Structure 1
C-alpha cells in the first residue's frame, strides 16, 4: 500500500464508533461544541485513523483515551445477513471499501468469527463476479442489482476479469 493510495485514504476516513474513557478538556469540537470538554463515556464516530491513534495508549500499557467499537458495516446484523447469503448483501451501501475496512478492523480486533464470515463472503461473491465477467449479458438483467452492490475491491476484480476475457 502506497502513501498516496486513494483507496487506503478513503478506507482510513471511514467512521468508527469510539467511546471516550477519560475527560478531555477543550476537545468538544469533535462533538460540534467548540471550547467544551468531552466527558468520559461520550460516544463519538471518529475517522478510523483518528480513533486508532487515540486508542493506542492501551497498546503501550497506559490508560487509553478511547475504546473502539466495530463499525455498523460489520455489525452483528450484517454478519448474520452475510452468513445467510453473502450474494444478497449490498456491500457498497455499507462501506464503499468494505473489504479494506474489514482488513483494517481485523488488525485492531481479534474476531475469529469475523475472519471466517468475511473469507466465506469473499469466496462466494467472487464466484458470482467471475460468472458476470464471463457472461456480461447476465449483468444487464437480474444481475444488475448485485453488480451495483460491489465494493471497490470487487469492482477492480470484475474489471480485471473482463479485461482478461476480452484479451483471451
Structure 2
C-alpha cells in the first residue's frame, strides 16, 4: 500500500468500513459499535475502517498468541456469490454497484483486502485479476475513442 501514498483511490479503499470480529474484550471502545455499551465484548462483529482493521489484525492477542486481536471478514462486495458470478462472466456483474459498497473502488479495495488477508486466497486473487483484465480490455477501445 505504501507505493500509492498520494493515490485518492487508495485513500478511499483504506477508508472503507469492513466487517471484523474482535477476538478479545476491548475496554472503553464500545462507541465503535454505535451502541451504549462501554466495552467491546469478545467475538463481537463490528465494522471498522480498513486502515484500523489492517493494523489490529496484525497485532497478537496477549492472552493467546496464536490469535490476533481481530479477524477480518470478507465484505459483501467480495463474498462467494459475487466471486462465483465474476468467475462465470465479468460482464454480467455491475461493478459500479459493488464499488459503491466497497469504498468507491472495487479493484483497489480488493487488492488492499488481499494484502492483509490472513489466508492468501488464490481464488479471490485470480478473480480480481481476471476481472481487471476482462473489463480493462473492453474499456480500452472506448477510452481511446473518447480521447480523439
TM over 0.5: yes
Residue matched to 2:25: 23
Measured against aligned partners, the alpha-carbon deviations of 1:44-93 in whole angstroms (never above 9, x if no partner) come to 0111101111111149x944211111111111011011012101212121
> How many residues align structurally?
138
- Going from structure 1 to structure 2, the CA distance change for 1:5 and 1:64 (only over 3 Å counts) comes to same
Higher helix share: 1
CA distance in 2, matches of 1:123, 1:67: 30
Aligned to 1:25, the other structure's residue is in SS state coil
Deviation string, structure 1 residues 106-155 (Cα, Å, up to 9, x no partner): 112201111111222112112211233355xxxxxxxxxxxxxxxxxxxx
Larger radius of gyration: 1
Superposed structure 1 runs of 4+ greater than 4 Å apart = none
Structure with the bigger RCO (C-alpha within 8 Å, sep 6+) is 2
Given the two structures, how large is their TM-score scaled by the length of structure 2? Answer: 0.82
Q: TM-score w.r.t. structure 1 length?
A: 0.73
Match of 1:132 in 2: 142
Structure 2 unpaired stretches of 5+: none
